[in-house]
Copies of this chain bind each other. A is one copy, B any other.
Amino acid sequence: MSILRVYKLYFSPNRKYVKALKNLLGFVPGNLSLYRLAFRHKSVAQNVKKGVKNSNERLEFLGDAVLGSIVAEVLFKLYPYEDEGFLTELRSKIVSRVNLNQLARKLGFDKLIEYDSRMVGSTRQGSLLGDAFEALVGAVYLDKGYDFTRNFLVNHIIKSHIDIHQLEKTETNFKSKLIEWCQRHGKDITFELTENQEGESNKLFTVRALVDGEVLGTGKEFNKKNAEKLAAEKTCEALGI
């Protein structure tokens, strides 16, 4: 163990924080201020300069991108015979807010995140944990570089906490899939509520999905959300995605 590590873990004024991070991450962090920032929610951020706040949002932006890239590579190599549609879909399940929130909760992030407790219960609290997870990835990347971050994510997080083959089987969100595909291919996607038939007791909703102005799928259901889902599913079929 290097002298610096011994100092950080046992003698520095931050030793408690360093130990908590080491337990969480499995390694001794270098630049502590990056990790503190990753766990600071905007609800407790202060202005550090004109218009600049010390919250984790910029790190979240960076971490989201780095995480996306590392997960892309993991899947690319894990599934050599699957096409890019499969890889895109599986990645979006892995990095979904729901999945990252669960993951961060399992890892005990709730003990480390600083946030305004008046937020508890509000809708904005929903993605607090997942956002902090992404910000942490950004912090590790800036502190230790890409290859270290990849090894950390693969060996410490993905192998122990994410069941990729299980996620592979969960139901697909065709709407997200369609929107993502359109984003990637520079297409315009719109869902239009075209009819709103009043039946005897239930309303029937008709939704059309338009890609670059062309109707590629229609769904009729007794609630709007399901009508949209169906329209998206049919459009995915039509596009072969």
A interface bracket (residues with beta carbon within 8 Å of B): 35 or more
Q: Specify which chain B residues have a CB less than 8 angstroms from the CB of A175 in the assembled complex.
A: 188
Q: Specify which chain B residues have a CB less than 8 angstroms from the CB of A194 in the assembled complex.
A: 193
Whether B57 contacts A65 by the Cβ 8 Å rule is: no
- A127-B193 contact in complex given A61-B84, A72-B66, A83-B58, C-beta closer than 8 Å: no
A179 to chain B, nearest CB (A): 6
A197 at the interface (CB under 8 A from B): no
A190 to chain B, nearest CB (A): 5
Q: Specify which chain B residues have a CB less than 8 angstroms from the CB of A154 in the assembled complex.
A: none
Whether A186 contacts B98 by the Cβ 8 Å rule is: yes
A233 at the interface (CB under 8 A from B): no
Whether A190 contacts B228 by the Cβ 8 Å rule is: yes
A115 at the interface (CB under 8 A from B): no
Interface readout for A41-56 with B: 1 if CB under 8 Å, 0 if not?
Answer: 0000000010111000
Q: Specify which chain B residues have a CB less than 8 angstroms from the CB of A185 in the assembled complex.
A: 97, 127
Copies, count: 2
Whether B83 contacts A57 by the Cβ 8 Å rule is: yes
Q: Of all chain B residues, which has the CB nearest A73?
A: B62
Main secondary structure of the interface of A (DSSP, over half): helix
Among A65, A81, A183, A228, residue most surrounded by chain B Cβ atoms (within 10 Å): A65
A152 at the interface (CB under 8 A from B): no
A184 at the interface (CB under 8 A from B): yes
A63 to chain B, nearest CB (A): 9
A237 to chain B, nearest CB (A): 17
A146 at the interface (CB under 8 A from B): yes
Q: Of all chain B residues, which has the CB nearest A58?
A: B84
Q: Specify which chain B residues have a CB less than 8 angstroms from the CB of A62 in the assembled complex.
A: 72-73, 76
Docked complex Cα distance between A51 and B81 (Å): 8
A108 at the interface (CB under 8 A from B): no
Q: Specify which chain B residues have a CB less than 8 angstroms from the CB of A68 in the assembled complex.
A: 65, 68-69
Interface readout for A76-116 with B: 1 if CB under 8 Å, 0 if not?
Answer: 10000101100110010000111000000000000000000
Interface readout for A163-183 with B: 1 if CB under 8 Å, 0 if not?
Answer: 000000000000110011001
